[in-house]
Structures are given as C-alpha cells and as structure tokens.
Copies of this chain bind each other. A is one copy, B any other.
Amino acid sequence: MDIARLATRDPDFWSRLSRLTSWEGVSDHAVATAVHEILEAVKTRGDEALVEFTGRFDRMSVETAADLEIPQARLEAALAAIPAAQRQALEVAAARVRAYAERQKLESWSFTEADGTLLGQQVTALDAVGLYVPGGKAAYPSSVLMNAIPAKVAGVAQLVMVVPTPGGEVNDLVLAAACIAGVDRVFAIGGAQAVAALAYGTAMVPRVDKIVGPGNIYVATAKRAVFGLVGIDMIAGPSEILVICDGATDADWIAMDLFSQAEHDEDAQPILISPDAAFLDRVAAALARLLPTMEREQIIAASLRQRAALIEVQHLEEAAAVANFIAPEHLELSVADPKALLPLIRHAGAIFMGRYTAEALGDYCAGPNHVLPTSRTARFSSPLGVYDFQKRSSLIFCSPEGAQTLGRTASVLARGEGLTAHARSAEFRLQD
C-alpha cells in the first residue's frame, strides 16, 4: 500500500504537510458562465425556466411547474413504506439530533443600567430556509435530518427542500427523513436552477432567506453567486478525518475509521498521527489487509493513495500541534485520557473522544451535527447549528438620563469624525 509516511522530525515536515493538506476548490469559468445564465433565466422567467431546465438536466418532462412539487402525502407514504428498522433508526437519530440542537438555541437577553437605560439582544428565527439535497447516489437521509432539524428547532416557519430526481427516481429514505424532520414543502428540482428558485422565488417556489446543504460544483457556484441576497452555509470541500492515537487502540478499528471517510470520495483525506511508529506499521498492515474486503474499495484506495498520511510525532502534545495546523473536519482522540488532550485542541469541526467513539457515530446519531467545516476552515467556522437559523438584533432603550451622558460622549466623537448630523441628533436630546 502506497500511503504517505511523515515524521515531525523530518526537516521538510511542515512544508510536506502543508502541501498534502492544501485544497483549492475548483473554480471553473465555463461552469460560472452556465450558472450565471441559469440564474438569470429563473430570475426573469420563473417557473417556466424551472420546468425547462429540469426537463433538460434531470430528464423530467412535466406539464406544469406544480407537477414538480412532491406533496406531503408522498412523504408520509415513503415513511410508511421503508423497512421498520430503518424507520426506527431514523427516528432515534432525529430525536438525538433534536435534543442536542435544543441546547444550542440562543435566547434573547437584556439588562438595565443604573440610569434606567436598557441594553440587550433580541434573538429571532429566520422566516424561510431552503435546504438543498443532492439526488442520485449522494442522497443521504442523514443529511436531511442534520440540516432540517436545527432549522426547525430554531423556529423557521417555512423550510423548503429541493432534491433533484433524475429520470423521476425518488429516494424513499430521503423523503421519509424529510417527513420526520418536519420539512414544510419539497420540490423535485436541483442544480443551479433550484438555487435560483429559492433565492429569487418563483410563482411556485417560495423565496427563502438562507440556503443550506451540499451540492455539486454547479450548486456551489450558484450558492456563492446568490450570497448576499440570501445567506448560505459554508461551501464544503472533501471530507477529512484526523485520528490521534496513542497506539493502544485496536489497529483494525483505526483502519476502519480511516476508511469511513475515505469511502466518501477519492479526494477525501484520512490521516493518522501517533507517537508509536510500530502502531503506524500495524495500522498500515490493517489497511492493506482490510481494503480488499471493502465494498467501495476503489474509492478508498484512491483516497489513501492521493491524500492519506501516517504521521509519526514525538509525543501527544506535538500531535495536537499538528492537528491545530490541519484544523480537521473530524478529529478522533483515540487515547487513554482524551480529556487531558482536549484543552490543547484549538481547531476542529467535531472531536471524537476515546477509543469507543467511532467518527461514524457522529455522522448518524450521536446528536451533534455532521455538517462541519472542511479544508482548514475550522480555524474560523463552526458546525452547522441552531444558531445558523437564528439572528440577533441589538436593543438600545435610553432613559432620558442615559441620553444625557451618552449624548455628550457621542457628540464629541461624532464631531471628531466630522459627522455633525450625528452630533446634532444626539445634542437635540440634551436637556441643559
């Protein structure tokens, strides 16, 4: 097996690590042009353009736009149709995701100062949110739960899901998940045309305030283009897992954890760090032995060959430093005392602590969100959460007394900046 092997003692370690972990999202001029045309067409021609693009790109021939709506009854039918074990697992996962999300909810607050002036922050939910769900093989019911439930916990009244159904093929698990999560309306549309419909609104599709959910390069390009008119979530890069192991976890467990991200995508990045070189050898052997037994062997092999690494460090403190450089989407602390290591971790999307916490548990049902910052963006961003569907308004309610003291300060500063209307507006309220 051809997996990169690095050690922090190598003189070129940091430059090699930097090259290995750097990822530039593809930006393609042809895609940008095509997306721009689709956005303009939906903006100006609405449902007519939507029907046309859906026919062209998804081989769906419908009479009217209304035929593209998937009614609530169809979601309920899907929920009734799926196997009982899957339904139960979806419901358990949904309940846990909801319980965790409830704890994230921001609350309004205010306080009153001695002179009677009130300051605070009013928290409200977004009115309407669009959820993009990819079609075909990447249609994951777990992603529906992870995106929809925080929005509903926040109090979003209108949650609109779009999911392409190429050739009319619908995924019952996805519709069942939408039903459990409480999605309000579902449309069988996808691509840049679905993003446009959500951002601008059409006669059929309600205009939303924010669009979340993963998609291909056309969807990502369209989301970036409408950012500002509506809010968007982060543009996700390939999935990553970084495991820090002290060498005492079963090597097969760690190998399978690395596979669990590698199987997503040839570009996915699985990395293992350990101070125990012999353990790195054992995991390498386990990877080689287990690989031929994997259903998604080709994808995993490509990911291991192109983007994986086994990294030897001096000690766990150094492992934390490497992890902070990488700022991984998923970080496993597979060590004897993960609580001792935790304070050294500054950047990670989600942290899986202890030998029993397989990253896959977090993907499905532990409770925290599986939509996480990738490509080193955990340096400045956070998992998707209830807070992404809430916003704040500052509150200021000056008492007549408060307006005196604040007004004098504001007047001095406004005049210092040459903004005399600001100054006079404050001075008008002064009572001497």
| A interface residues (Cβ-Cβ under 8 A, vs B) | 25, 85-86, 88-90, 92-93, 100, 103-104, 109, 111, 117-119, 121-122, 124, 126-127, 137, 140-142, 173, 209-210, 228, 230-231, 234-235, 250, 252-253, 256-257, 259-260, 262-264, 294-296, 300, 331, 338-339, 342, 345-354, 356-369, 372-373, 375, 377-383, 385, 387, 391-400, 402-403, 406-407, 409-410, 412-414, 416-426, 428-429
In the complex, 14 of the A-B residue pairs with CB atoms within 8 angstroms, ordered by the A residue number, are A89-B413, A103-B109, A117-B366, A126-B380, A253-B428, A263-B420, A294-B421, A338-B397, A339-B397, A350-B396, A357-B397, A358-B403, A358-B429, A365-B406
Compute how far the CA of A351 lies from the CA of B351 in the bound complex, rounded to whole angstroms: 38
Query: Out of B253, B296, B345, B380, which one reaches A209, CB within 8 Å?
Result: B380
Q: Which residues of the other chain, B, contact A358 by a CB distance below 8 angstroms?
A: 403, 407, 410, 425-426, 428-429
Q: Which residues of the other chain, B, contact A367 by a CB distance below 8 angstroms?
A: 119, 396
Minimum distance in angstroms from A230 CB to a CB of chain B = 7
Compute how far the CA of A419 lies from the CA of B118 in the bound complex, rounded to whole angstroms: 53
Minimum distance in angstroms from A242 CB to a CB of chain B = 12
Minimum distance in angstroms from A423 CB to a CB of chain B = 7
Minimum distance in angstroms from A88 CB to a CB of chain B = 8
Known A103-B111, A397-B357; contact A365-B425, beta-carbon cutoff 8 A: no
A356, B421: Cβ atoms closer than 8 Å = no
B346, A399: Cβ atoms closer than 8 Å = no
Query: Out of B92, B111, B381, B396, which one reaches A352, CB within 8 Å?
Result: B396
Residue ID in chain B nearest A417 by CB atoms: B140
Q: List 18 other contacts, CB 8 Å, given A142-B413, A372-B394.
A: A85-B412, A117-B366, A122-B345, A124-B346, A124-B347, A141-B417, A209-B380, A231-B380, A250-B428, A252-B428, A259-B424, A345-B393, A347-B391, A349-B394, A358-B403, A360-B410, A364-B413, A366-B406
Known A122-B342, A231-B381, A418-B137; contact A356-B402, beta-carbon cutoff 8 A: yes
B259, A425: Cβ atoms closer than 8 Å = yes
Q: Which residues of the other chain, B, contact A406 by a CB distance below 8 angstroms?
A: 361, 364-366
A426, B361: Cβ atoms closer than 8 Å = yes
Compute how far the CA of A375 lies from the CA of B227 in the bound complex, rounded to whole angstroms: 12
A90, B353: Cβ atoms closer than 8 Å = no
Known A421-B263, A422-B363; contact A357-B396, beta-carbon cutoff 8 A: yes
This chain: copies in complex: 2
B398, A366: Cβ atoms closer than 8 Å = yes
Known A362-B394, A380-B391; contact A409-B92, beta-carbon cutoff 8 A: yes
Minimum distance in angstroms from A305 CB to a CB of chain B = 16
A385, B392: Cβ atoms closer than 8 Å = yes
Q: Which residues of the other chain, B, contact A356 by a CB distance below 8 angstroms?
A: 398-400, 402-403, 429
Give 6 nearest A-B pairs by CB, closest first: A368-B394, A231-B380, A353-B397, A259-B421, A356-B403, A350-B394
Minimum distance in angstroms from A178 CB to a CB of chain B = 15
Minimum distance in angstroms from A292 CB to a CB of chain B = 13
Compute how far the CA of A88 lies from the CA of B411 in the bound complex, rounded to whole angstroms: 12
A365, B409: Cβ atoms closer than 8 Å = yes
Q: Which residues of the other chain, B, contact A362 by a CB distance below 8 angstroms?
A: 394, 396
Minimum distance in angstroms from A202 CB to a CB of chain B = 16
Compute how far the CA of A345 lies from the CA of B397 in the bound complex, rounded to whole angstroms: 15
Compute how far the CA of A222 lies from the CA of B168 in the bound complex, rounded to whole angstroms: 42
Query: Out of B88, B119, B385, B393, which one reaches A378, CB within 8 Å?
Result: B393
Q: Which residues of the other chain, B, contact A400 by a CB distance below 8 angstroms?
A: 356
B428, A260: Cβ atoms closer than 8 Å = no
Q: Which residues of the other chain, B, contact A250 by a CB distance below 8 angstroms?
A: 428
Minimum distance in angstroms from A320 CB to a CB of chain B = 13
Compute how far the CA of A345 lies from the CA of B123 in the bound complex, rounded to whole angstroms: 11
Residue ID in chain B nearest A428 by CB atoms: B253
Q: Which residues of the other chain, B, contact A260 by a CB distance below 8 angstroms?
A: 419, 421-422, 424-425
